Amino acid sequence: MSKFTIVIHGGAGTILREHMTGDLEAAYTEGLKTAVDTGFAVLEQGGAAINAVKAAIVVLEDNILFNAGRGSVFTKKGVQEMDAAIMSGATLEAGAVAGVRNVRNPIMLATEVMLHSNHVFLSGKGANDFAIKQGIKLEPDEYFFSQFRYDQWQAIRHSDDYALDHSVQTNSNEFPDKKFGTVGAVACDINGNIAAATSTGGMTNKKYGRIGDTPIIGSGTYANNKTCAISCTGHGEMFIRAVASYDVSCLMEYKGMNLEDAMNEVVNVKLPKLEGEGGMIGVDADGNWSLNVQSAPGGLFIETGRQAGPCDGPGEIGSSQRRLRSVEEHVGLRL
């Protein structure tokens, strides 16, 4: 039995101490822990990586704290337009949706696209029509309302500015915080199959139907058993131009880099040349995982992962090899 692994992220970047209370920090951490526990339970029972990442993302989409699903930000028009993608490294099958409205769990809709549409990428009204056909749960606008997101939008709705998850981007590029609001998961199962999934509400006050990297296969989300599974979070336009997640795979396949070195090359060498910032999580088919994120000193990045390996008996998990990567101890909570 192969080692199995799941890693999730709740977005990369910086949240200043004055904008993060102890209670809020605890709530974020608990939300991430619940998500990774849910995905890990799938793997622990011998489930497939593709189901583990979907299960973890559903938990985060249902949590109003994260900019995905229920917690999605407001667009220029004062509504939510959500994006999501999922990909199987075993088959290279993928599903993605962009600009969907009122869909409780966009990652479930992306999965339906992958499995039952004969397509890879659906958007807008067509994607919503497909959601209805497939029986995907919809919610009224009120379900997606949060005062925090509404106040973010009100602060800039009459301008041409847009906001990341916790901050307003002004024309002078001054940020009180820089927090990229995306959730993602990558996993390797006991059969050595890997998968990636990513979901987001995008940027506050976005207009013209803007779509970032999250639902674009090879940019924000990618998986291939030969190399890696990657989920990105950052300023989407640059991740699209860099074809960021696929580039990690290419560096591994064609240059023989390992996962950590390939991710470092993309995040810290290629993206900065495009003035891109953010980060990514990844796993390979051996269950190795890596995190690489650009985060300013004093910032906050939250990631949680669990990993387990074989024990003496088939199907058993060695408790000494099972470990929770807590935020503070292993990732370095910087406030």
Cα–Cα distance measured from residue 216 to residue 209, given in angstroms and rounded to the nearest whole number: 15
CATH number at residue 246: 3.60.20.30
Percent of the chain at pLDDT > 90 equals 62
User: What pLDDT, on a 0 to 100 scale, did the predictor assign at position 165?
Assistant: 55
Considering the domain boundaries, does residue 201 fall inside one? yes
Q: Is 207 within a domain?
A: yes
Does residue 335 lie within any of the structural domains?
Answer: no
The mean per-residue pLDDT over the stretch 28-40 comes to: 90
48: Cβ contacts below 8 Å, ≥ 6 apart = 42, 189, 191, 193, 195
Long-range contacts of 124-129 (CB under 8 A, 24+ apart): 124/98, 124/99, 124/100, 124/209, 127/97, 127/98, 127/99, 127/100, 127/103, 128/100, 128/101, 128/102, 128/103
pLDDT greater than 90 at residue 334:
no
Higher pLDDT, 284 or 168: 284
**Which of the pair, 256 or 310, is modelled with greater confidence?**
256
CA proximity to 300, closest of 334, 254, 259, 269: 334
Residue of 179 and 51 predicted with greater confidence: 51
Residue 180 has pLDDT above 80, yes or no: no
pLDDT bin (cut points 50, 70, 90) of residue 307 is low
Residue 310 pLDDT: 44
Residue 38 designated active-site: no
Of 265, 308, 312, residue with least CA distance to 289: 308
Would the pLDDT of 208 be above 70?
yes
Whether the per-residue pLDDT at 313 is higher than 70: the answer is no
pLDDT at 101 over 60: yes
Q: If you write DSSP's letter for every residue of 178-246 in order, what string do you get?
A: EE--EEEEEEE-TTS-EEEEEEE---BT--TT---STTSBTTTEEE-TTS-EEEEEE-HHHHHHHTHHH
pLDDT tens figures, 212-221: 999 999 999 9
Asked if residue 238 has pLDDT above 90, the reply is yes
Residues 266 and 176 sit within 8 Å (Cβ to Cβ): no
Kindly give, in sequence order, each residue whose CB lies less than 8 Å from that of residue 42, ignoring residues fewer than 6 positions away: 48, 51, 52, 55
* Sequence-separated (6 or more) residues with CB below 8 Å from residue 113: 95, 96, 97, 119, 120, 121, 122, 127, 130
**Residue 182 included in any domain:** yes
Q: Return the pLDDT at 19.
A: 62
Residue 325 lies in a domain: yes
Which residue has tokens 């674009």?
A: 216
pLDDT in tens, 67-85: 999 999 999 999 999 999 9
Residues 106-154 pLDDT 10s: 999 999 999 999 999 999 999 999 999 999 999 999 999 999 888 888 8
The reported pLDDT for the residue numbered 49 is: 97
Q: CA geometry: angle at 39 spanning 96 and 294, to 5°? A: 70
Q: What is the pLDDT of residue 248?
A: 98
Query: Per the residue annotation, which of 182, 200, 214, 221 is the catalytic one?
Result: 182
pLDDT band at 306 (very low <50, low <70, confident <90, very high): low
Residue 17 lies in a domain: yes
The pLDDT tens digits of the residues spanning 290-304 come to 999 875 432 233 344
pLDDT in tens, 44-64: 999 999 999 999 999 999 999
- Asked if residue 175 belongs to a domain, the reply is yes
Domain interval for residue 38: 4-330
Using alpha carbons, select from 267, 286, 306, 185 the residue that is nearest to residue 226. 286
* Residue 94, pLDDT above cutoff 80: yes
Give the confidence band of 335 by pLDDT, cuts at 50, 70, 90.
very low
Within-domain flag for 197: yes
Please state, rounded to an integer, the average pLDDT across all residues of the chain: 83
* Structural domain total, the chain: 1
Cβ(184)–Cβ(281) below 8 Å: yes
